[in-house]
Amino acid sequence: MKPIHWALIGALAMPASAFAFDMRLNGFMSIAGGVTLGDDQTLVIDPVNLAAYNNDLNFSADSLVAIQAIAEVNDDMTATAQMVGRGGEDFNTQFEWAYLTYEATDSLDVKGGRLRMPLFYYSNFLELGYGYQWVRPPVETYNIFVTTVEGISADYSFYIGDFSAKASAYAGSTQGTDPESGSDVDFKTLAGGSLDLAINNLSFRGSYNAANNAELTREVQVPMPPNNYIGTVGQTFDFPIEFISAAAMYDNGTLFTIAEYTSTLNDTNLINNRYNGYASLGYRIGALTPHVTYARYEEETNSIDPSYNQNPREYQSATLGIRWDFDIAAALKVEYTRREDTNPDSQRAVGDADLLSFAIDVVF
């Protein structure tokens, strides 16, 4: 993308304390559609509300609109709120961000409120489709059902030799429902951090997040007195879990490539451990950006609960797409994705799918 495009992305993703306005409104929107090309094919693209594409042309699964308001409280403090309405949720609006930022020093910002967890390379502008080449980030990796936390965080910028660096840390709590297992998870204390490094055309990122006292609640079948008939009750388990990610990117303004790997691990054997990753390559030719991506999702059997004995899933996908920046703040994207279920025939969980999708992303 051209420098002006990165400036537009930065205006929506950079810390709010960088602004010197009493009040500022930003917004962005994605109008997207897609259809699977084979009979009885379904491809889920949203792990939270299970929005998906099938053989019927769909204009809601990837579409969204967001408004971000930034208000200057005083010279050192700002308030930020971002509301997002997703097509997969009937455009019901919710606050994705709602926090105060205090600029403690030129290098240190402290935030409190509802925050975005620094899980992924694209976490800070996950919904901002204008900020990346795809219609959506690879669903094999970007499939976590919680991405925000109510708590506090700190961002510290510094240098390590010739590397510019930013260290982020946070702590808080959040709740969510794992749509794949139907389990409610209460992350009573969730903490983590990330480190970003950049030099010349290279950037690197690592993140670690852990919830050591989380609780998972799911329905299990048990004998019920007095006749020992099988009934369903909610049962709560201790559920310590950790999330690890690493990414590297090269971008010389024309050629760019990024690779990202994540793992979601738990020691309780309640949900399968998950290992995900992708690699993407793109080339900018004026206003056009053709790109190709390979992504993979793997699970490791991790179940001792007889009421949940799902076979581990494995699948991979290849995406070929093109982005056209037809205006200073608008881009048209078209891409074809081929997903392959790599489980044995008797254990295939998601099936093969061929998806044609498109989107118009704008910022305003």
pLDDT class of 3 with cuts at 50, 70, 90: very low
Q: DSSP string covering 168-220, please?
A: EEEEEEEEEEETTTTEEEEEEEEEEEEEEEEETTEEEEEEEEEETT-EEEEEE
pLDDT of residue 231: 62
Domain containing 352 equals: 3-363
Mean pLDDT score of the chain: 88
Mean pLDDT of 51-62: 92
Q: Is the peptide bond before 118 cis (omega within 30 degrees of 0)?
A: no
Domain CATH code at residue 212 = 2.40.160.10
The answer to whether the beta carbons of residues 100 and 63 sit under 8 Å apart is no
pTM: 0.86
pLDDT band at 102 (very low <50, low <70, confident <90, very high): very high
Q: Does the pLDDT at position 311 exceed 80?
A: no
Taking only the tens place, the pLDDT of each residue in 263-309 is 999 877 777 889 999 999 999 999 999 999 999 999 887 655 555 54
Domain count, the chain: 1
> Residue range 54-63: average pLDDT?
93
Which residue shows structure tokens 């240098």? 159
The residue written with tokens 């390590």 in the block is: 160
- Identify the residue whose tokens are 């962005």: 28
Higher pLDDT, 161 or 238: 161
